[in-house]
Amino acid sequence: MTGRNVESLKKCGAECVGKQKPLILVADVTKQEDNVRVIEETIKKFGKLDVLVNNAGRGVFGSIETTSLDQLDDMLNTNLRGAYHLTILAVPHLIKSKGNIVNVSSITRLKPFPNSLAYCISKAALDQFTRVIALKLAPKQVRVNSVNPAVIATDFQNREGMSPAQYAAFVKHSEKTHALGRIGQPREVAEAIAFLATDSASFITGTCLSVDGGRTIMGPI
């Protein structure tokens, strides 16, 4: 388990129950040396790698008129390049274990949001990355899939600049844009990831699974 915020990592780690506690590593996916260390420390502790979940991500609000090249680069570095590099490092170990990869993408790879341009681009690229490497690694029995969440009850929007009032209005509006009439919960996405990562999904690869409460089947509202 890795991330930039040590307190968040500790909190998440404490919620993990089981015979073995997770390995917690403070790291930044935009730093190559951190990615190398994450894989090396994981192999050192567990002796192998069964699953890679590329979950690091961030967003930025902005359209073609307001999004700078620097903002686009920042988005791609975190949402795409980090996953790309970790995958390069993980693949030799996953081939040995016949493991799998789950990338955390977004419905924005399908639904265009004009004021989230850089984010949409990064997630569309991540899902194409998923499909391409799934095809390449399938003969070696390594499965690769992604999940595409819609609006989920996290602090994602707040961290990217929404005020509490704006977020409340956003959630209220989202209840109308999701067919199930509500936003999703983190556990619902986690369970989809867990499904894809286990042998229950042993015949699934190259799939981008919508976990969206019916958002993608709704009209453009």
Chain segment 192-216, per-residue pLDDT in tens: 999 999 999 999 999 999 999 999 9
Q: Write down the pTM of the prediction.
A: 0.93
Chain segment 18-67, per-residue pLDDT in tens: 777 889 999 999 999 999 999 999 999 999 999 999 999 889 999 999 99
Architecture of 53-217 per CATH? 3-Layer(aba) Sandwich (3.40)
Q: Please list, residue by residue across 158-171, b when 16 or more beta carbons sit within 10 angstroms of its beta carbon and e when fewer do.
A: eeeebeeeeeeeee
Which residues lie across from 163 on neighbouring strands? none
Q: Percentage helix, strand, coil, to 5, in the chain?
A: 50, 15, 35
Catalytic residue status for 119: yes
Measured CA angle at 86 (ends 19, 43), to 5 deg: 40
Domain ranges, ordered by start, for the chain: 1-47, 53-217
Query: Residues 119, 122, 146, 201: which is the catalytic one?
Result: 119
The whole-angstrom separation of Cα 72 and Cα 77 is 9
Measured CA angle at 61 (ends 215, 167), to 5 deg: 60
